[in-house]
Amino acid sequence: MALSGASSTACVSRRTLGSSLQPKSTQSNISAMITMASTLPATPSTPVHKKPFRPAHEVEGQITHSMPAHKMEIFKSLENWAEQSLLTLLKPVESSWQPQDFLPDPASSEFYEQTEELRKRAMEIPDEYYVCLVGDMITEEALPTYQTMLNTFDGVRDETGASLSPWAIWTRAWTAEENRHGDLLKQYLYLSGRVDMRQIEKTIQYLIGCGMYIKTENSPFMGFIYTSFQERATFISHSNTARHAKRHGDLKLAQICGTIAADEKRHEAAYTKIVEKLFELDPDSAVIAFADMMRKKIVMPAHLMFDGRDRGLFDHFSAVAQRLGVYSAGDYADILEFLVGRWKVESLAGLSEEGNKARDFVCCLGQRYRKLEERARGRRETREKRRVRFSWIFDREVLV
Ligand SMILES: [Fe+2]
Ligand SMILES: [Fe+2]
């Protein structure tokens, strides 16, 4: 349909060039064709939308470069430490798993049989589980945004794209490890036949075009607190999708999600180690950054997701994840409390007045979240459940 539109339009413009040489009846035919062509659908070769491209969601009031420039020296001074303590947490490529290790081998004569088995297992899994798995996969697939985000941090960014600073080596290798997560989940979902791949691909394109705004203000203090939180959040979420896959009898999918979760755990260890070091060298800045990030709330990486239809897509996906126990408000409080303990925030001494306030704020926050969550749970239980359509599963409805 679209192709025929393109060829008709091209044909019209060629003929229009020689219109004065045509007999009158032919000219009126041409006019009719021009009218017809203007009503044909737009195609890539005939752009009709003159508006500049805009992201599907836009964020106002963004703050940049709030960290004083002299603080960058801390990260320069940590380069040897990063080489010894951070880069040693990366796995060599040769001993790393690859998506192909968990998927039917297209070069094997058993490919069709293995794919058939995968699809049979996939039939046993409910739609609501797929909504969670797709949301997790889309989050992983927006990886270009996360590498961009890491390279916004002052003092640790990859200055050339191939920089040999240990911070830059870490960021590229971390990205390369993470890249396998989205690849594996996407290929699994493609083979499962359970989801609308085109809608999913559109959501990924929209999401990468939107980016994300996580309020880290180019500060590696805030940035590494965010990544510590997020790696633990993804560890929890993938561990839970593994647990549910096992419950639904798909041990291979459980293995896929569990393997990804193990990577997230190793990444969490790396990022929490960086922040631990920052607490040691500059506890005041570290605890103030921690409190600041928690006051602003940790937003999820895919918070700007859109599928071209549902403006509340992220909230709907989050509500399903909450209901199924894949990732919940309780997990958010758990992560906060875990990090407070991991960085021994309660025992920080010798802080400035602002630092003391920040410490007291984060140490009491877990309790406060739990009370709020208890009330919210009460409201959720009494509220009537709604059904929401998800384009990712061919517009079928899921309870939220
Ligand atoms: Fe990941
Ligand atoms: Fe991760």
**Segment 81-93, tens digit of pLDDT:** 999 999 999 999 9
* Cβ–Cβ < 8 Å for 231, 77: no
pLDDT in tens, 152-211: 999 999 999 999 999 999 999 999 999 999 999 999 999 999 999 999 999 999 999 999
Given the residues 128, 183, 217, 263, select the one marked as catalytic.
Answer: 263
Angle at 209 between CA 292 and CA 398, to 5 degrees: 85
* Average confidence (pLDDT) over 143-155: 98
Question: Is there a catalytic annotation at residue 267?
Answer: yes
Residue 377: band (very low, low, confident or very high) from pLDDT cuts 50, 70, 90: confident
Distance 265 CA to ligand 1 centre (A): 10
Q: Is 387 exposed, middle or buried (0-12, 13-18, 19+ CB in 10 A)?
A: exposed
How far is the C-alpha of 202 from the C-alpha of 59, rounded, in Å?
20
Least confident range of 3-12, 198-207, 216-225, 318-327: 3-12
| Binding residue ranges for Fe cation | 140, 178, 181, 231, 264, 267
pLDDT recorded at residue 167 = 98
Query: Apex CA 131: angle with CA 127 and CA 133, to 5°?
Result: 110
Between residues 148 and 1, the one the model is more confident about: 148
**Whole-number pLDDT of residue 30:** 46
Cβ pair 185, 136 in contact under 8 A: yes
A 10 A CB-CB count for 49 gives 7
**Residue 307 annotated in active site:** no
All residues at 6 or more sequence positions from 376 whose CB lies less than 8 Å from its CB, including other chains: 329
Least confident of 18-32, 85-99, 173-187, 359-373: 18-32
Residue 354: predicted pLDDT: 98
On the question of pLDDT at 386 being above 80, the answer is yes
Residue 82 half-sphere exposure, CB side, CA atoms within 13 Å? 20
Pull the structure tokens for residue 298.
């940790």
Name residues with Cβ closer than 5 Å to ligand 2, which is an ion: 231, 234, 264, 267
Average pLDDT over residues 101-124: 97
| Ligand 2 centroid to residue 29 C-alpha, Å | 61
Q: pTM of the predicted model, to two decimals?
A: 0.87
**Mean predicted lDDT score pLDDT of the chain:** 90
User: Which member of 141, 167, 174, 181 is catalytic?
Assistant: 181
Nearest to 362 by CA among 280, 300, 276, 292: 292
231 is catalytic: yes
First to last CA, the chain: 38
Is residue 235 within 8 A of residue 268, CB to CB? The reply is: yes
Quote the pLDDT of residue 383. Answer: 82
β-strand partners of 388: 398
User: How many CB atoms neighbour CB 174 within 10 A?
Assistant: 24
Section 292-317 average pLDDT: 97
Ligand nearest to the CA of 137: 1
pLDDT in tens, 238-290: 999 999 999 999 999 999 999 999 999 999 999 999 999 999 999 999 999 99
pLDDT (tens digit per residue) in 124-144: 999 999 999 999 999 999 999
pLDDT at residue 310 above 90?
yes
Residue with tokens 């922040």: 275
181 belongs to the catalytic site: yes
Instruction: Write down the pLDDT at residue 40.
Output: 53
Percentage of the chain exceeding pLDDT 90? 84
Residue 8 has pLDDT above 70, yes or no: no
CA angle (185, 139, 242) in 5-degree steps: 45
When comparing pLDDT for 72 and 17, which is higher?
A: 72
Task: Compute the distance from residue 175 Cα to the ligand 2 centre, in Å.
Answer: 9
Tracing tokens 């590498």 back to the chain, one arrives at 147
Q: Is 263 a catalytic residue?
A: yes
